[in-house]
Amino acid sequence: MLYQRSSQLFAEAEKVIPGGVNSPVRAFKSVGGTPIYVKEAKGAYLFDEDGNKLIDYINSWGPMILGHAYEPVVNAIIAKAKLGTSFGMPTEIETKIAELAVSMVPNIDKIRFVNSGTEACMSAVRLARGYTSREKIIKFKGCYHGHSDSFLIQAGSGAVTFGSPNSPGVTQGTAKDTLLADYNNLESVKAIFEANKGEIAAIIVEPVAGNMGCVPPKKGFLEGLRQLCDEYGALLIFDEVMTGFRLARGGAQELFNVNADIVTFGKVIGGGLPVGAFAARAEIMDYLAPIGPVYQAGTLSGNPLAMAAGLTMLEEIEKDLDLFKRLEEKTGYLEKGLRKVLSSHNIPFTINRVGSMISVFFDEREVIDFGTAGYGNNDTFKKFFHGLLAEGVYIAPSSYETWFITDALTYEDLDHTINAVNKIFS
């Protein structure tokens, strides 16, 4: 495939946009080459500026669970846009989507909409700190909760010490309140609680990690976090920006039957438009202004276009009783085919999957956390990525990102992908 137009557009973008992109992973730094510029998309396919058609496995990093340009969502956006695009005032549709979301997700009474997953997670942590009157939080190495200062922290000298910033601009003062634990390791979490008794406001965790590849929780891990939070008086925050309304109607809480105290959302809840949200039981949410002391605001929060897209998407998910079964079957079919092909070529690999999230790691060892996610052979991944691209298949340009399956994919698309992998390693 030729990407002359995309290369030209990237060169132009680099002159006026830092790195040529508005989000770093788009720059292809870990795989080489130049980014693909999308012109349009429909269903399971991207169409780039050079006229190439690509089967899409990132789906805007998750929200396109029903496919690109899904007609009911597009129609809802158009209809709402004709009435005005932004008011900065309450609209009825905000209440409608709130009522639907609360009815679908376990253990939440109230929800507040924001503009991104980053904003949702930032606000959830502030709320947890305000509610508990504590300052420290625990996060896990490799879990990404947006680019808020509190989350851009890497491990310090040990699990019980505070972290250090891994981005200039994040202060040591901020870093000292973020404590790092190992994903799927309850002992590391317990050690932090013991070393910081009475100081920890919350644990924030991706119930299924998606930013070190797809890494499922070990059996008992989420249940153990719930127990430790109860024992030490901290809140449990599930970052369901990726998993919410994708792994089940009620998200990871429903799938794993573990209740969080605060849940954050993004991706699917916006139907493809920029939306985030955080939700909890009434006694926690009522700590928010204007009725409580914890301040959080946003001029464009509850934007009518975003609310129209999100409401329509949730309504479609709610009424399609077989959606999650189909997604599970399609992703399982893809996993089975990939395993067969990679095994036949004696390629060392591990595949992790939960529902419609899936990742391929090019190493035989089990991937359970950030450390083990780094075992994969990046040269093999580069070959894999560019080989798929040459065959008209687009996956995330990083081995540390999960794939997202859309219901719009056909079994012919899946077979094409599996055959493309066979061709790469033949």
pLDDT digits (tens, 9 = 90+) for 281-293: 999 999 999 999 9
pTM assigned to the model: 0.95
Q: How far apart are CA 343 and CA 341, in angstroms?
A: 5
Is the predicted pLDDT of residue 166 greater than 90, yes or no?
no
Count of positions (residues) in the chain: 426
Q: How far apart are CA 300 and CA 188, in angstroms?
A: 39
| Residues tagged active-site | 144, 239, 267
Confidence grade of residue 161 (pLDDT, cut at 50, 70, 90): very low
Determine what percent of the chain is predicted with pLDDT higher than 90.
Answer: 89
How high is the pLDDT of residue 158?
36
How high is the pLDDT of residue 94?
98
Q: 172: how many CB neighbours lie within 10 A of its CB?
A: 10
Nearest by Cα to 308 from 18, 71, 75: 75
Task: Taking residues 239-244, report their average pLDDT.
Answer: 97
Task: Taking residues 64-72, report their average pLDDT.
Answer: 98
Q: How far apart are CA 16 and CA 18, in angstroms?
A: 7
Task: Taking residues 128-157, report their average pLDDT.
Answer: 84
DSSP string, 13-46: HHHHSGGG-SSGGGG-TTT-S-PPPEEEEEBTEE
Q: How far apart are CA 89 and CA 303, in angstroms?
A: 9
How high is the pLDDT of residue 160?
37
Q: 72: how many CB neighbours lie within 10 A of its CB?
A: 14
Confidence grade of residue 165 (pLDDT, cut at 50, 70, 90): low
Pairing mode, strands 136-140 and 178-181: parallel
Is the predicted pLDDT of residue 39 greater than 90, yes or no?
yes
Residue 373 contacts residue 182 (beta carbons within 8 Å): no
Give the sign of the dihedral formed by CA 44, CA 406, CA 78, CA 22: negative
Confidence grade of residue 159 (pLDDT, cut at 50, 70, 90): very low
- Tokens 């052979």, residue located: 377
- Give the model confidence (pLDDT) of 313-329 as tens digits: 999 999 999 999 999 99
Task: Taking residues 367-376, report their average pLDDT.
Answer: 94
Q: Secondary structure of 324-359 in the HEC alphabet? A: HHHHHHHHHHHHHHHHHHHHHCCCCCEEEEECCEEE
Q: Retrieve residue 105's tokens.
A: 């997700």
Task: Taking residues 264-269, report their average pLDDT.
Answer: 95
Q: How far apart are CA 14 and CA 29, in angstroms?
A: 14
